[in-house]
Copies of this chain bind each other. A is one copy, B any other.
Amino acid sequence: MYRTHTCGELRASHINTEVTLSGWVQKNRNKGFMVWIDLRDRYGITQLIFDEERTSKEIIEKAKTLGREFVIQVTGKVIERQAKNPKIPTGDIEILVSDLTILNKSKLPPFTIEDETDGGEDIRMKYRYLDIRRNPVKENLLFRHKVAMEIRNYLSKKEFIEVETPYLIKSTPEGARDFVVPSRMNEGQFYALPQSPQTFKQLLMVGGMDKYFQIVKCFRDEDLRADRQPEFTQIDCEMAFVEQEDILNIFEGMTRHLLKELKGVDVDKFPRITYDDAMRLYGNDKPDIRFGMQFGELNEVTQHKDFKVFNDAELVVGIAVPNGNKFTRKEIDKLIDWVKRPQVGALGMVYCRCNDDGTFKSSVDKFYDQEDLAKWAEVTGAKAGDLICVLSGDINKVRAQLSALRMELAERLGLRKPDEFAPLWVVDFPLLEWDEETERYHAMHHPFTAPKPEQIKLLETEPEKVKANAYDLVLNGNEIGGGSIRIHDKEIQAKMFNHLGFTPEEAKNQFGFLMDAFQYGAPPHGGIAFGFDRLVSILAGKETIRDFIAFPKNNSGRDIMIDAPANIDENQLTELNLKVEIKE
């Protein structure tokens, strides 16, 4: 037996008992006549003591040789610590070691195994197994497990069944790129890895499973942006005989439960906002509502004067920055530079100081008098001491720009508090969106999303106006879940495929099994999927999902620890009837 207790377990009540511990050497302080060692495992740190008076010479000499991260086993007596350490739960005691075994030596680690490490991102990824020993990473993984267990138990109690859907499925060109898997047994043919279990969960509803969930890996062969992973984890859910309201209620309940159990946060009924309002008020379909700064549309109160920039603009829109009048001229100039960066892309920014005495001072005082500016303040909700920032231009672009500015300001002003949680449902998404590149409509959510029944007829005339029974759950400015009521009628599904530019042959070829299934008594159904990596990181008050994945890939989709992907044997290729042909 390697241990009687873990390194996080011993307390004053254990004093005088003989124990055996195993773990890693976190720290070795050698004072010559005395040696202290911090012994670490997953559960904590326990101090070991060796001294000339009470420890054999052989053992104390051996203790002196122990380097950082050596794996050792010790036996000894729990004694009261002279200088107690109230910062750790084992701080009242130490172990007077009587026996010491080196279980494994360690080379000096390439970075320090401390909460704050000296290792850069790359070296920590290469030696991820050492990075995981560090408290912050370890705690993230423990937290992830806890979230998963809470979700599984919550949904199970609500009669959801976790069903494993297949990983080796069929490639469909719709959506992002699939990863494919060549089949050896079926020559020249390929499986695809699922981007989501979408069709399977719908088939489970046709199959009468009624309430399904799965915490499941999904795969997307995308050009990776920062913080996108080619494999990611989804909480995938579907229910039969439900309307949108039923789904919102269940998953609002689940999210409320997670916030309560994991963060001790009570949240009342989640607010709801339509997609159109979210765009109008926040310029964004996943608004962070932990702070105000709602958009005020200023066309009416700005476009009657000689300021050509505003008069020519499709939209003039502003936000009131709380206490923003304290910004210096230099700080405001920097803000203007910030919105003009190519990543944001505004041509400029108009601002208006709201002075404490109720007067206004704007960058366009030439065109607007105090009465005009008072109206700006009224529309944007600015109070004395605030700063109004105004952007103008093309409606979609300017909303995105002002949304970026709003988030940046909130970040700078410390309004995005990691321990505050503000969930929000965004509903009534458009069914379709026009894609400039392919010059056709794409499904905004996916091709199985049901249009609002009363708007189906608009599909023929004004398809862009059709709203869907689709919804996103937004938490602190991040979309953590999204879903929809599905089409369960074969005719409407065929019509949708037609609108999305599928020929009947393509539709049959790719989704024939689903359309077939709809002929045999498909129930009304709908669902939602949560990005699990993101949900966990946001619940932990962080935004980098990579820190919550045990073995993440880098931005080129590589696992630099195991060095994958890699070349494979010529034999393997031959067996798969494949030849690699790299283009020049």
Contacts and interface: CB of A to CB of B under 8 A. Distances in A.
A230 interface: yes
Contacts of A142: 161
B563 A513 contact: yes
B184 A177 contact: yes
A148 B184 CA distance: 32
Interface string A121-149: 00000011111110000100110110011
A185 interface: yes
Contact of A163 (B106, B513, B550, B556): B550
A129 B190 contact: no
Nearest to A533: B164
A399 to B, nearest CB: 32
Contact of A170 (B145, B566, B578): B566
Interface string A189-203: 111110000011001
A557 interface: yes
A141 B209 contact: yes
A278 interface: no
A568 B6 CA distance: 54
A219 interface: yes
Contacts of A523: 22, 24, 71, 103-104
A545 interface: no
Interface size of A as a range:
35 or more
A566 B204 contact: no
A508 to B, nearest CB: 11
A78 to B, nearest CB: 19
Copies of this protein in the assembly total: 2
A562 B513 contact: yes
A564 to B, nearest CB: 4
Interface stretch (A381-389, A438-446, A514-522): A514-522
B164 A233 contact: yes
B565 A173 contact: no
Nearest to A180: B568
A106 B51 CA distance: 83
14 contacts: A41-B210, A69-B520, A104-B488, A106-B521, A145-B161, A148-B162, A164-B549, A165-B550, A167-B231, A180-B182, A180-B568, A182-B182, A188-B582, A191-B565
Contacts of A313: none
A397 interface: no
Nearest to A215: B164
A33 interface: no
B189 A567 contact: yes
B71 A109 contact: no
Contacts of A524: 2, 71, 103-104
A534 B491 CA distance: 41
Given A145-B161, A520-B130, A42 B209 contact: yes
A161 to B, nearest CB: 5
A542 interface: no
Interface stretch (A80-88, A239-247, A258-266, A452-460): A239-247
User: A131, A144, A241: which has the most chain B beta carbons within 10 Å?
Assistant: A241
Given A141-B163, A170-B566, A186-B565, 16 more contacts: A105-B521, A107-B520, A130-B206, A138-B208, A138-B209, A141-B161, A145-B163, A165-B551, A167-B231, A171-B566, A179-B191, A181-B181, A186-B556, A189-B566, A199-B562, A513-B561
Contact of A127 (B208, B210, B520): B520
Contacts of A342: none
Interface of A: 1-3, 6, 22, 24, 40-43, 69-71, 103-107, 109, 127-133, 138, 141-142, 144-145, 148-149, 152-153, 156, 161-171, 173, 177-193, 199-200, 203-204, 206-211, 217, 219, 221, 223-224, 230-231, 233, 241-243, 245-246, 488-489, 512-513, 517-524, 549-551, 553, 556-559, 561-569, 572, 574-583
Contact of A567 (B190, B209, B549, B553): B190
Closest 6 CB pairs of A and B: A132-B207, A106-B521, A170-B564, A189-B565, A2-B241, A69-B521
A557 to B, nearest CB: 5
A204 B129 contact: yes
B550 A204 contact: yes
A104 B489 contact: yes
Given A145-B161, A168-B553, A522-B71, A133 B180 contact: no
Contacts of A183: 557, 565
Nearest to A110: B520
Contacts of A208: 24, 40-42, 132-133, 138
A34 to B, nearest CB: 24
Given A519-B106, A561-B513, A572-B171, A132 B209 contact: yes
Given A22-B523, A166-B551, A522-B71, A567 B188 contact: yes
